[in-house]
Copies of this chain bind each other. A is one copy, B any other.
Amino acid sequence: MRSFTLPSRALEVEVSKQRTAITPTREENYPEWYQQVVRAADLAEVSPVRGCMVIKPWGYAIWENMQKDLDRRFKETGHVNAYFPLFIPKSFLEKEAEHVDGFAKECAVVTHHRLEEGPDGGLVPAGELEEPLVVRPTSETIIGAMFSKWVQSYRDLPILINQWANVVRWELRTRLFLRTAEFLWQEGHTAHATAEEAREETMRMLGVYRDFAEEVMAVPVVCGRKTDGERFPGAVDTFTIEAMMQDRKALQAGTSHFLGQNFAKAQEITYQTDAGDLEHCWTTSWGVSTRLVGALIMTHSDDDGLVVPPALAPQQIVILPVLRKNTDPADVLDYCEALAAELRQLRWRDERIRVLVDKRDLRGGEKTWQHIKKGVPIRLEIGPRDIESGSVFMGRRDKGPKEKQSVPRAQFVEQVGDFLTDIQQGLLDRARAFRAAATTHVDSVEAFEAFFQGDGGFAWCFAADDPSYEDLLKKYKVTARCIPIDDNDATGTCIFTGAEGVQKIVFAKSY
């Protein structure tokens, strides 16, 4: 495991001077740290079903908040939700050659439709299907089959559909949220009359993903086009948002595909033009998944556990009543409930503020640390003395665990939205600074090699989209992440092949 530089904020916390809540730390063993953060925050766990995870309530609530925000953005851009079958007949998958090649190796296949008693008394599969069914790894083929029925004339276009669903891609080596056999996602599928419109749609949804990642997840991303070798099976062009994790690796956080007429031709999605001609449609698809939860964890969390941006936190504020002997607990609890009720009336980013009063009978320190490990943005400790002085004792998850602040109650209520905004923005700024520090522009193979022999990160360099230098990439376990769309107007000479007039490509190790 390579060592790497911690983001500046974590350094301020002076992790090294204290025992951390998560063992090992990021520096000691990043992959194991990740597993321990997931466990300590009670986000998910492995299930007895190979490759499948159980998403626990705290993890699922983060996903629900992601869904809610994305769903609003999809609807605002004119999309409607629908639902298509879980099963895809084998023959459908076979219609698009590249597509089936991409997914055949990792399909869950349904071959029977009942269980019956076998010779040894146990149940065995029975009722063999005439045609095996594949559990959807993605739905281009089944949705395309419906589109071909729904589209007759140019008046039926565009069709702008999204589906929230589970999908299955059989994986042998799994990691919670990052790579599991079953995962949850959304898949947008659209059909258009012209290539231009379909390309516009592809870019519009890439923009939606970028805005969501930055505004809601506080995760800065590089938007770009995938190189030929990294395209979605069957697509003409795949666009991606690439985020940088704290081990400086890239994580593909969402993709938007311009499918050209490939699927329309394979599935006969045709329409009659205004002039009466029959044309094939132009289609797109785009998706993000529960993998985003993994990206969120690895971008913001620290050696004390999960850090969740307020926009996605299941609880944005936890109130911790501090009960002392010689004081009536009811007084403190009533005071806390009243404050919670007042805060819940307020809105931040057009949503009611989410507040939990943790009244469990647990030691105060244990309780506080649980919420730190779960990443709750703001903790308020309230005891008899705070009530007397009319104040709350605030801890923020973006600051050190012992760095707390007494705030007059009225001021807290008035400024709570500002505090949340400050935390949200601070996390984005910190992630941007970390990425900036771990990004370099290299102009020679030597500099490229030196970069990836060192800490690594994102390397931008003029490079041809050409598999001829793949061996060099493999040597450093590096891949072309994308050809960035922004800040990438200049062309130059490929550092690997000498080809002229090429754009920059971002290279990195990746998940």
A-to-B contact residues, CB < 8 Å = 47-49, 52-57, 60-61, 63-64, 80-90, 92-94, 100, 104-116, 122-125, 127, 132-135, 142, 145-146, 161, 165-166, 168, 170, 182, 184
Tell whether, in the assembled complex, residue A123 and residue B94 are in contact, meaning their CB atoms are under 8 Å apart. yes
Asked if B111 and A107 sit within 8 Å, CB to CB, the answer is no
Is B60 in contact with A82, judged by CB distance below 8 angstroms? Answer: yes
Query: How far is A146 from B207 in the complex, measured between Cα atoms in Å?
Result: 39
Besides A48-B142, A49-B88, 5 other CB < 8 A contacts?
A54-B82, A54-B146, A55-B83, A60-B81, A106-B114
Which single residue of chain B is at the shortest CB-CB distance from A106?
A: B114
Cβ of A274 to closest chain B Cβ, rounded Å: 12
B residues less than 8 Å from A106 (CB atoms) = 113-114
Pairs across A and B, CB under 8 Å, 30 listed: A47-B145, A47-B146, A48-B142, A48-B145, A49-B88, A52-B85, A52-B86, A54-B146, A55-B82, A55-B83, A57-B81, A60-B82, A63-B83, A90-B123, A93-B123, A94-B122, A104-B114, A104-B115, A104-B116, A105-B114, A106-B113, A107-B112, A109-B110, A109-B125, A110-B135, A111-B125, A112-B132, A114-B170, A124-B132, A165-B166
Q: Which chain B residues lie closer than 8 Å to A92 at the CB level? A: 48
When distances are taken between beta carbons in the complex, the residues of chain B under 8 Å from A127 are 170
Q: Contacts A94-B122, A161-B57, A166-B86; is A133 near B115 (CB within 8 Å)?
A: no
Residues of B within 8 A of A170 (CB): 113-114, 127
Q: Could you tell me if A182 and B133 are in contact, using CB atoms closer than 8 angstroms?
A: no
Q: Tell me, in angstroms, the Cα distance from A442 to B73 when the chains sit together.
A: 56
Q: A54: which B residues are within 8 A, CB to CB?
A: 82-85, 146
Nearest B residue to A145, CB-CB: B48
A364–chain B nearest beta-carbon distance, Å: 17
Report how far A316 CA is from B404 CA in the complex, Å.
49
A81 and B64 form a contact (CB under 8 A): yes
Residues of B within 8 A of A135 (CB): 86, 110, 135
Chain B residues within an 8 Å CB radius of A105: 114-116
The answer, among B47, B61, B93, B122, for a CB contact under 8 Å with A81, is B61
A106 CB → nearest B CB, Å? 6
Q: Give CA–CA (A64, B75) in the complex, Å.
A: 13
Tell me the bound Cα distance from A395 to B116 in angstroms.
Answer: 56
Chain B residues lying within 8 Å of A90, measured Cβ to Cβ, are 115, 123
Contact B57 A80 (CB under 8 A): yes
Most B CB contacts (10 A, CB to CB) among A106, A113, A125 go to: A113
Closest B residue by C-beta to A87: B49
